Amino acid sequence: MSDISTTETVGWRAWLMTDAPGSRTQARLASLYNGWLSFRSNPMAMAGLVILLGLLFTAAFAPLLAPHDPFYQTLANRLQPPLSDGHLLGTDSLGRDILSRIIYGSRITLQIVFLVAVIAPVAGLLVGTIAGYTGGWLDVILMRITDIFLAFPRLVLALAFVAALGAGIGNAILAISLTAWPPYARIARAETLTIRNSDYISAIRLQGAGPLRIITKHIWPLCISSLIVRVTLDMAGVILAAAGLGFLGLGAQPPSPEWGAMISEGRKFILDHWWVATMPGLAIFTVSLAFNLLGDGLRDVLDPKSGEGS
């Protein structure tokens, strides 16, 4: 039985690594497989992937993994140190278990990351490709708007939007998305300017394809790889921006176990009860580092020239 399985594995590997694919599907699968082999050879990137998979697992099974109710308050157990009375990471000023709150806080972090990763790159891709393909006055207007957004520090601009929209996790996500799209627009425009005058775009245009079809079917797919790398590398900044808003009381509101808000609460006890702020801070550090490691690995796979330059 094992010999048959080994033979099938070798056969699939040879089919994926052939130099002469027999179909478009085989070519795409072979490209994905070769990319995975290249990514797997980078131990730091794999470490980042493992950490993020662990985050996904933690968020998905938070009710099973959390040892206590993250909202349950017991003032008799307030500010307990780590490894005391069944509290692995200690308790906060209201006696709530810090580990349980960090575990449930991973859901908020993933919610922010996912929604920003959907909104900001899509908006940037639309603005950048339209500006790069059409050119002229529309390009000038869209890029000057982009420059205005880039002129302000992201966190300061996010604070302004949240102040206008009101505190809350939904408004914080919207504010971060509104400040995160300009770099994606710049990347998409640069890619479009490189592509739009190429020979195969001219051939497609001669066949009768309109601007909408050219942009969506032939320019967007070539911009995706650059945007994926940028999104992954930007997620650490998104997490820090969300934590900053939570720290200032403009993000997720109490008693929500958001990591930035937990640090804000713990700063009052940082000298005598260091674990209250340190534990969620370590969670932010670990997840941010994982996104950076994953982004570096994806950049080496999707943009080999960048990897060689570094």
pLDDT > 70 fraction of the chain, expressed in percent and rounded: 90
Q: What is the pLDDT, as a whole number, of residue 307?
A: 44
In a domain, 18, yes or no: no
Q: What is the pLDDT, as a whole number, of residue 290?
A: 94
Q: What is the pLDDT, as a whole number, of residue 10?
A: 54
pTM of the model: 0.84
pLDDT digits (tens, 9 = 90+) for 45-70: 999 999 999 999 999 999 999 999 99
Domain that holds residue 82: 44-309
Q: Regarding predicted confidence, which is higher, 282 or 207?
A: 282
In a domain, 90, yes or no: yes
Q: What is the pLDDT, as a whole number, of residue 310?
A: 41
Asked if pLDDT for residue 2 goes beyond 60, the answer is: no
Of the pLDDT bands very low, low, confident and very high (cuts 50, 70, 90), residue 20 is low
Q: Regarding predicted confidence, which is higher, 34 or 17?
A: 34
Q: What is the pLDDT, as a whole number, of residue 248?
A: 85
Q: What is the pLDDT, as a whole number, of residue 293?
A: 92
In a domain, 11, yes or no: no
In a domain, 10, yes or no: no
What's the chain's length in residues?
310
In a domain, 9, yes or no: no
Q: What is the pLDDT, as a whole number, of residue 227?
A: 87
In a domain, 304, yes or no: yes
Q: What is the pLDDT, as a whole number, of residue 18?
A: 67
Asked if pLDDT for residue 103 goes beyond 70, the answer is: yes
What gap in Å lies between CA 260 and CA 284, rounded to an integer? 8
Asked if pLDDT for residue 5 goes beyond 70, the answer is: no
In a domain, 254, yes or no: yes
Q: What is the pLDDT, as a whole number, of residue 7?
A: 44
In a domain, 34, yes or no: no
Q: What is the pLDDT, as a whole number, of residue 65?
A: 92
pLDDT digits (tens, 9 = 90+) for 232-272: 888 988 998 888 888 888 888 888 899 998 998 888 888 88
The pair of three-digit structure tokens given for residue 46, joined into one six-digit string: 């794999």
Q: Are 111 and 289 in contact (CB under 8 A)?
A: no
Residue 178 maps to which CATH number?
1.10.3720.10
Please provide the DSSP assignment of the chain as one string.
Answer: -HHHHHHHHHHHHHHHT-SS-SSHHHHHHHHHHHHHHHHHT-HHHHHHHHHHHHHHHHHHTHHHH-SS-TT---GGGTTPPTTBTTBTT-B-TTS-BHHHHHHHHHHHHHHHHHHHHHHHHHHHHHHHHHHHHH-HHHHHHHHHHHHHHHTS-HHHHHHHHHHHH-SSHHHHHHHHHHHHHHHHHHHHHHHHHHHTTSHHHHHHHHTT--HHHHIIIIIHHHHHHHHHHHHHHHHHHHHHHHHHHHHTTSSSPTTS--HHHHHHHHGGGTTT-THHHHHHHHHHHHHHHHHHHHHHHHHHHH-HHHHHH-
The pair of three-digit structure tokens given for residue 89, joined into one six-digit string: 């990471």
Q: What is the number of domains present in the chain?
A: 1
Mean pLDDT over residues 164-193, rounded? 88
Mean pLDDT over residues 156-178, rounded? 86
Q: Which residues contact 31 (CB under 8 A, 6 or more apart)?
A: none
Q: What is the pLDDT, as a whole number, of residue 259?
A: 92
Asked if pLDDT for residue 135 goes beyond 70, the answer is: yes
